Structure 1
Amino acid sequence: MLSLESQIKTAADNAQNRFGKDIITDRYEFRGDITLTVARQAVADVVRWLRDSAGFDMLVNLSSVDNMGESPRFEVNYTLTQSETGANLSLKTKVDDGEEVPSVTEIFQSANWHEREAWDLMGIKFSGHPDLRRILMWEGYPYFPLRKDFPVQGVPTELPGVAFTEAAPTQGAPFATEQGRCPSACREPRSHKF
């Protein structure tokens, strides 16, 4: 029986052989973990093949990264797992502002909320998603709060009672605490009454 690391390498090799360099454009290995960079338009095909042919039957994570100043600006990261062995394989795809990534919700239902969160907080759209609407911010909110160009203090809003109408009282960072020797409860800005 192959070791866990050998199973992951074999799956990555098979995926690269199956899809070629036009689809799987890069491979990064670090301490036994492998990340494959996948062309944006083929990400759903690769995810489906890894589920059906390589036994990666669980999507454990889908997240996004804002690489402001680079082009393409965003990355969408996927972590797939073989539930029986615990083997993990990571995929990433690069996407520019305004481009869409194919949804993987038909392959893994767990992607539904992950993709909605990436849309809501980063502005990354997923084509073919069955219900791509905001999950944390309200409909009509014009910003994407996890982008690096979003002000740390937040933005003034015209909806009093829904969010801060002035800059958040956090001394320049979300959830920043005040320095001092008091217990953490008194340093936590959310515990203060305004």
Structure 2
Amino acid sequence: MAPKATLFDALKTLRDECGFDLLVDITCVDYLNYRDAVDRFGLIYLLASTVTNERLTLRVFLNEPDLNVPSAVPLWEGANWMEREVWDMFGIRFDGHPDLRRILLPEEFMAFPLRKDYPLQGRGERHNLPVLTRNRS
């Protein structure tokens, strides 16, 4: 676990001094309504060492309204799309990201559908999306 204020330095140290040279994934968990949960969101970094085959999980906990963390793109280029996906689905902002925009949903989509408070049936967005059909020839 790392405090948000030291996240970038922790990731840099893990990469440069501890040999965790591969960022496997960045994901998020919404702990809304979890019994005993203190924080709303858990941001999870999965790291690996390609030399020692060790793996490490680093967690950072966040609460609204301060859902900003530093981007890991300066450390791993592959963080680019991972951070965009977490932004798109959960609304976690990555400060310093070179292109933080939606990656799965249309830009005009106004919600974050993997949050626990997002209704299962949606909020009527389907009616605003274009219908795509496949030409069968």
Number of aligned residues: 127
1:92 aligns with 59
Q: Of residues 72, 77, 95 in structure 2, which corresponds to 1:127?
A: 95
Q: Of residues 124, 130, 133 in structure 2, which corresponds to 1:161?
A: 130
2:21 aligns with 57
1:89-142 alpha-carbon deviations (Å, 9 max, x no partner): 110001112320111110011111111001000011111111110001111211
Q: Of residues 51, 71, 86 in structure 2, which corresponds to 1:118?
A: 86
Q: Which amino acid aligns with 2:85?
A: E
Rounded to whole Å, the distance in 1 between the matches of 2:129 and 2:106 is 13
Rounded to whole Å, the distance in 2 between the matches of 1:113 and 1:160 is 23
2:135 aligns with none
| TM-score (norm. length: structure 2) | 0.86
Percent identity for Structure 1 against Structure 2: 41
| TM-score (norm. length: structure 1) | 0.62
Gaps of 5+ in 1: 1-36, 164-194
1:42-99 alpha-carbon deviations (Å, 9 max, x no partner): 1111010111111110000110000114443111101111102210011000111232
Q: Which has the larger radius of gyration?
A: 1
Q: Of residues 6, 12, 19 in structure 2, which corresponds to 1:48?
A: 12
Q: Note the C-alpha offset of 1:160.
A: 4.7
Partner SS state of residue 7, structure 2: helix
RMSD: 1.6
Q: Which amino acid aligns with 2:2?
A: V
Rounded to whole Å, the distance in 1 between the matches of 2:55 and 2:80 is 20
Superposed structure 1 runs of 4+ greater than 6 Å apart = none
Q: Of residues 78, 89, 107 in structure 1, which corresponds to 2:75?
A: 107
Following superposition of structure 1 onto structure 2, how do residues 18-37 of structure 1 map, counting pairs within 5 Å? 37=1
Rounded to whole Å, the distance in 2 between the matches of 1:160 and 1:80 is 36
CA change 1:120–1:43 in 2 (3 A) is same
Rounded to whole Å, the distance in 2 between the matches of 1:92 and 1:98 is 19
Q: Which has the higher helix share?
A: 1
Partner SS state of residue 116, structure 2: coil
